Amino acid sequence: MTDTAVEAEVVDTTEPLLSVEDLHVSFHKGSQTVQAVAGITFTIPRGETLGLVGESGCGKSTTGRAIVQVERATSGRILFGDTELTALSRGDLRTLRTQVQMIFQDPISSLNPRRRVSDIVAEPLNIWKIGTKEERKESASAMLDQVGIDPYLLGGRRPREFSGGQCQRISIARALVLKPKLLVCDEIVSALDVSVQAQILNLLEDLKQQYNLTILFIAHDLAVVKNVSDRVAVMYLGRLCEIAPSDLLYEAPAHHYTAALLASAVEPDPETARSSAALLGEPPSPINPPSGCRFRTRCPRAEPRCAEEVPEMRQIAPGHQVACHFPIGA
Amino acid sequence: MSDRTLLEVEDLHVSFATSRGAVRAVQGVSLTLNQGKTLGIVGESGSGKTVLSRAIMGLLPRSSTTQTGSVRYNGTEILNAPNDDLRKLWSTHIAMVFQDPMTSLNPVQRIGNQITEPLKIHLKLSKGEAKETALSLLMQVGIPSPVERYQAYPAQLSGGMRQRVMIAIALACAPRLLMADEPTTGLDVTVQAQILDLLGQLQHDRDMAMILVTHDLGVVATRTDEIIVMYAGNVVERAPTNVLFKSMAMPYTEALLKSTPRLANPSHTRLTAIEGRPPDLLHPPAGCPFSPRCPYAQEKCHRERPPLVEAAPGHSYACWFPLTAARPQEVTV
Ligand SMILES: Nc1ncnc2c1ncn2[C@@H]1O[C@H](COP(=O)(O)OP(=O)(O)OP(=O)(O)O)[C@@H](O)[C@H]1O
Ligand SMILES: Nc1ncnc2c1ncn2[C@@H]1O[C@H](COP(=O)(O)OP(=O)(O)OP(=O)(O)O)[C@@H](O)[C@H]1O
Ligand code: SF4
Ligand code: SF4
Ligand SMILES: [Mg+2]
Ligand SMILES: [Mg+2]
């Protein structure tokens, strides 16, 4: 057996914590159907962070919301370990909710303004009746302390007395107080200044190690996603274009959309090539998406085949998957 | 391009009277901008970028603000000038693209009317001429099917399209100076690149000067001639763009750069966060405004405010203990 085969076997045995299989989520707008998520498949192994990037409206949040079961899948399967979430009754779902948590972009409005932050963080424990009252209080204090908010000095204050970055810390504490296994982060640093953003990203990296978290990290900022992710999935108009280990994706993108996104990104360095408008226009409407490859109306490489045939996701290197008939470098 | 000075700002102070006291949003800012050049203004939220831009335009309410210093456009003092004089400057000489296109466009007026209005008022164009010019502007800013969009309301357009309309309105009367306040914040990177390219192209075609305000060092790195870094209402560093990135002297500028995640770095690269948060503008600290968060702060920094001094031609900074140019590897992260 060659070394690569041994390696591949090792990778195969890492059992995923989350498996998403051919997920579809549609919304109805009058007589029209919005295919927000149109058949996506991916897995996240235990302890890994998967980044999810793509332009506004491509379906990132809907994917995240479907995983935490805030949105019901139209079809497809979502497996958490061996449990199929999409098939669970409301009652069984309830117990799983403690293990899957989501944090949102707007930290201030996602916290109840009338409650003290120590109560906000303890609230999930109260709902699930975990431990005694004393124990809950202690867990909440410990969690606040973990995210850098002094529970004794600041625990009695209300959200509006905190900055955006501090509110995001509080949201993280509330999400982690139940010791979930999977965390879905939806644009959690998008509204923050870079200096505060760096604090939160570092905190997330530390907590991931400490609690062995598995994370789906949704964001539109490519550099932010690269920084925290082990692998990155690129989404366009409800479908996945490419999945690859972070460094590889940025070094050798295979999908034309990934390459265009990277060319558009700005870097704080005058020596790097100026970002260029590699793509014209904006994504078409998900109500009436293009046939075949959904990216074909903006793709510089499109050929007639792209309009006729949907490109299937296929492996082009270990861990590197792409959905394109004519990938870059092939 | 000539070296003619278009805009000169000297020791500009702006404070807001609030029930809790005076908020000193801009504390002595000076800058100059030559015809056809681009100046970047960077700083984090609340550092005073928008207030500075609006003060230069003369758009701040007189009743609740105190504005002192000097703003000269083409040699004429315009700070606290009568509104009638300012109105003559707006559109035809200085125009602004605002931070939030949704709130600065009129939601109940068709796009077409919003572009033709300044053309009729300032350039005294007839209805037909104005419409023709507006359609050509919509085309120039890359709006597909301009004839249809001319009739649309702002809510019917995407964020990127609205920002293009804002740019079309700002450019309608061929201004000499464009103030662009976070023109791409909140837009996708693909659309951001389109808008920045568009601004650069239009600027080049028209020899127009531009002030590009942003919180993103990446946006200004390849698209400006000179950069001003603001912190808590103060200019803390100012330099030609290449000089700033090669030999930044002010610890805050370095901290800003080091906390920015970069595509060029491997994943999981530890970011250098700046602990704490900017000072309260109601009670600014006595010494250097960055001293409570600065990793290099010495005792003197907490006591005395460092003045902005020009240490090399065109390169000014406000710091008692600047980073020396001899540590470039630290600067490039
Ligand atoms: N509740 C809903 N009803 C109807 N359409 C919806 C609903 N939620 C989302 N959509 C549509 O589904 C598509 C995907 O939206 P989603 O919010 O998932 O995108 P996103 O990638 O998270 O975008 P952003 O980067 O702007 O947050 C969009 O076209 C959106 O308008
Ligand atoms: N009308 C006002 N009354 C009182 N304070 C104000 C007013 N407008 C602005 N400020 C204060 O002035 C300071 C500078 O605000 P400014 O909007 O210029 O910041 P900015 O650098 O543009 O930030 P951002 O990146 O968030 O747009 C802030 O502390 C703000 O709270
Ligand atoms: S399948 Fe065709 S249209 Fe789609 S990305 Fe590949 S080359 Fe472009
Ligand atoms: S003056 Fe002192 S505190 Fe301020 S930036 Fe310089 S070293 Fe830091
Ligand atoms: Mg979203
Ligand atoms: Mg602003």
CATH number of B5-93+177-317: 3.40.50.300
Question: Looking at residue A129, what is its pLDDT?
Answer: 86
Number of domain units in chain A: 2
DSSP sequence for B146-162: HHHHHT--GGGS-HHHH
Task: Determine, yes or no, domain membership for A174.
Answer: yes
Asked if the structure places residue A159 within a domain, the reply is yes
Locate the ligand 3 atom nearest the alpha carbon of residue A296 and give its number: 3
Mean pLDDT computed over every residue of chain B = 90
pLDDT for B254-307, tens place per residue? Answer: 999 999 999 999 999 999 988 888 888 888 888 999 999 999 999 999 999 999
**Domain termination site, one of A131, A161, A178:** A178
In a domain, A90, yes or no: yes
- A285 and A226, same domain (yes or no): yes
Which atom, in ligand 1's list, is nearest to the CA of A218? 22
Give residue A32's domain range: 16-99+180-322
Please indicate, yes or no, whether residues A60 and A204 belong to a single structural domain of this protein.
yes
Q: pLDDT tens digits for B181-239?
A: 999 887 889 889 988 998 999 899 989 999 999 999 999 999 999 999 999 999 999 99
Beta-bridge partner residues of B96: B179
Which pairing describes strands A75-80 and A83-84: parallel, antiparallel, or unpaired?
A: antiparallel
Residue A321: the pLDDT is 98
Stated pTM of the model: 0.91
pLDDT on residue A162: 87
* Chain B interface includes A221 (CB < 8 A): yes
Q: How far apart are CA B70 and CA B12, in angstroms?
A: 6
Give yes or no: residues A60 and A167 share one domain: no
Tokens of A49: 């962070």
The A residues from 229 to 248 touching B (CB cutoff 8 Å) are 229-230, 246-247
Residue where one domain finishes, among candidates A178, A208, A225: A178
The closest of B229, B213, B225, B236 to B291, measured between CA atoms, is B236
Residues sharing a CB contact under 8 Å with residue B106, sequence separation 6 or more, in sequence order: B114, B154
Co-location of A120 and A138 in the same domain: yes
State pLDDT tens for residues B126-141: 999 999 999 998 988 8
Please answer whether residues A53 and A31 qualify as being in contact, where contact means their C-beta atoms are separated by less than 8 angstroms.
Answer: no
Q: Is A161 exposed, middle or buried, given 0-12, 13-18 or 19+ CB atoms closer than 10 A?
A: exposed
In a domain, A5, yes or no: no
Question: What separation in Å is there between the alpha carbon of A253 and the centre of ligand 1?
Answer: 26
- Cβ(B207)–Cβ(B201) below 8 Å: no
Asked whether residue A303 is domain-assigned, the answer is: yes
> What is the biggest distance separating any 2 CA atoms in chain A, rounded to whole angstroms?
67
Assess if residue A330 is contained within a domain.
no
Same-domain status, A77 and A129: no
B218:A227 CB<8 A: no
Q: How far is the CA of A48 from the centre of ligand 1 (A)?
A: 26
Same domain assignment for residues A170 and A191: no
Residues A152, A56, single domain; the answer is: no
A256, A125: one domain: no
What is the Å distance from ligand 5's center to B231 Cα? 31
pLDDT at B101: 67
Tokens of A229: 């992710």
Q: Which atom of ligand 4 is nearest to the CA of B289?
A: 4
* CATH number of the domain to which A217 belongs: 3.40.50.300
Residues A54, A94 within the same domain = yes
The answer on A289 and A232 residing in a single domain is yes
Count of beta carbons in the 10 Å neighbourhood of residue B207: 12
Indicate whether A153 and A128 sit together in one domain. Answer: yes
Task: Check residue B140 and give its pLDDT.
Answer: 83
* A259 lies in the same domain as A247: yes
Per-residue buried b or exposed e for B175-188, using 16+ beta carbons within 10 Å of the residue's own CB:
bbbbbbbbbbebbb
Residue A48, min C-alpha distance to chain B (Å): 12
Beta bridge partners of B214: B42
ipTM above 0.85, yes or no: yes
In a domain, A220, yes or no: yes
Q: Which of B129, B33, B141, B43 is nearest to B97 (CA)?
A: B141
From chain A, pick out residues whose CB is under 8 angstroms from the CB of B190: 55, 260-261, 264, 277-279, 282
A178, A204, A227: which is the final residue of a domain? A178
Is residue A8, in this structure, part of any structural domain at all? no
Q: What is the pLDDT along chain A (330 residues), one digit of tens a residue?
A: 344 444 444 444 468 999 999 999 999 988 899 999 999 999 999 999 999 999 989 999 999 999 999 899 999 999 999 888 888 887 777 778 889 999 988 877 789 999 999 999 999 999 888 899 999 999 999 999 989 899 998 999 999 888 888 899 999 999 999 999 999 999 999 888 898 899 999 999 999 999 999 999 999 999 999 999 999 999 999 999 999 999 999 999 999 999 999 999 999 999 887 777 778 877 888 899 999 999 999 999 999 999 999 999 999 999 999 999 999 987
pLDDT for residue B111 is more than 90: yes
Are the C-beta atoms of A202 and A170 separated by less than 8 Å? Answer: no
